[in-house]
Structure 1
Amino acid sequence: MEDQLMLFDIDSFATSQKTVVEEVINEVVVTTNPLSNLMDRLNAVEITTDNRISEAELDYCKKIEAVYLDSKQVLEDVLSSLTMVFGRQKNLKINGKDLYYLSEFEDIYYVEKRLTYIYGRFVSDITCFFAQRHNVTISSDEIKKKYSYETITYSIIVDEIFEQLGGLNFKEKAIEEIKTNSRTIVYQKDKIIVNRNKMSIDDLIWWNSYAYDGRKQLDYSDSNLRSLFIALSHFIGKKETMLKELENIYAALRIGDKQYDIFSKYEINIGCLVSFKVFKNRKVELVFSDNTSAETFKNEYLL
């Protein structure tokens, strides 16, 4: 469903908003009281939830909300009927014995639980959509605990997402997270050594070793190399996701040296990145085209 959706271009959005404001200014210049008219018209230019996201994103949100509201209405109708009938029966006695077939726990409780579940899924579906679309981290739990299934709307969720961006747009937030993650992969900064156009980082990765054949593969719990590769992808290709060439190397390292010569030098030659190499002693080596590139990557993404 999302394959045909285009990424939201924040620069285009900013340009369109600028155009609206410029049209307002041009229109009021020729009036007798331009300042008054200008302020009135500028105040009327309102940035709403719907015009902060792309048409494709808005369409997705509206469709998801329609499914949610449809499901919620059915469950609320069932809950209302169950509650009414149970209330009518719970004090009914025949021959001195309680007589009711509905259960507050086994019937009413589970419908209420389903309402809570679809509420949580509705929030998660929208937050995950934007998180994956823009490569940012968004907490659905923060939103879930602030609202309820009765009051939630897609507009509220989108507003909360922008609140979590902290004043940044999606692209700026993604870049901030890339640099934050890459700066945490090396605790001892003196283990990052730049010598001319070469950078070496000690103790960056860990290996799963197998005693019966001695083979090695990248530890599946280790995210250091992934964070490094995403940072390199942004540095050399201005991408918020890992470049295919680096993704292939990462995949080979995870499979290990039983199938790949993982300890050979990987020639890359994309932008200013020339090559990459890993060592059995957990060191990695990056070769850049020049010293300036090596120092810039170190200072901007690792320190």
Structure 2
Amino acid sequence: MSGKITKDQNVFKMRLSVDRTFDVVNLVLMIVMLLVFAWPLWFVVIASFSDPGAVYRGEVILFPKGITLESYRAIVKYRQIWIGYRNTIFYTVAGTLINLFITICLAYPLSRRKFMPKKIIMAIALVTMYFGGGLIPSYLVVRGLHMTNTIWAMMIPNALSVYNMLIVRAYFCNSIPVSLEEASTLDGAGPMQYLARVVLPLSKPVLAVIALYYMVGHWNDYYSALIYINDQALRPLQSFMRDLLVNNSVTRVTGGSLSPEEMQAKLYLAQTLKYSSIIVATVPMLVVYPFVQKYFVKGVMVGSIKG
């Protein structure tokens, strides 16, 4: 009997040793992955506050050097940034409202059992999810609708995400009890009243998550402007960001007939200006996210797993 107990203890110790080894290896891997993903973000932050010359020479690695706000002062003076901010905020707010409206208008009928053509409409929607017409047909359609160089080109072509619609539909199907619809019908509520007064208030988690998806998509969208927008007054923030990161447009615009020392200073400033502009463009989404985070797990998990 004592021999069996000793054997069991040895097996337990071996398993405990294996578990500890796994935990140590797992912890090391997680730390390495954290450093790999976190360091670039940290570098962007410290580079935006560092001396432009130190950043240009590669002296900024882990901590800022020669802390200065010169790049942020330059951004304040760069008029196009504020034009882009104004346009992007409008595109994000108005575009997200359009997205939510169309998504709900399609997801709600498809979640109703008595809606007869839902299989046909669902099939059509799924086809558009996997197959697209391509860039040239899309451009011809937008141009044919006279939306090029208008605000609508930034919002209407991508007004619906079928993937997001499927998440909302799954939430309507699985998280809204059928008994609520029967009770509201007995109380005299029509389909629109039931949707507005019962379904939507109970669907705040999934709608908040979908709204965040749409907002991030609009906020980061520069490709639509690259194709459809030529008017500088209508370009979003990300288009000007692209000029900063790819073309060094600020240095080109502000360069002019400068001395070699001034040109070198402008070149140094362009390095930190890239990082500070990234911070400026990222902060609004970072501010919005904490307000939606509490809905994130509940909205996505309930809407997708049960569907």
User: Do the structures match in fold with TM over 0.5?
Assistant: no
RCO comparison, higher one (Cα < 8 Å, 6+): 2
Larger radius of gyration: 1
Band of TM-score, shorter chain: under 0.3
Provide TM-score, normalisation by structure 1.
0.25
Provide TM-score, normalisation by structure 2.
0.25
If each structure's strand is expressed as a fraction of its own residues, which one has the higher value? 1
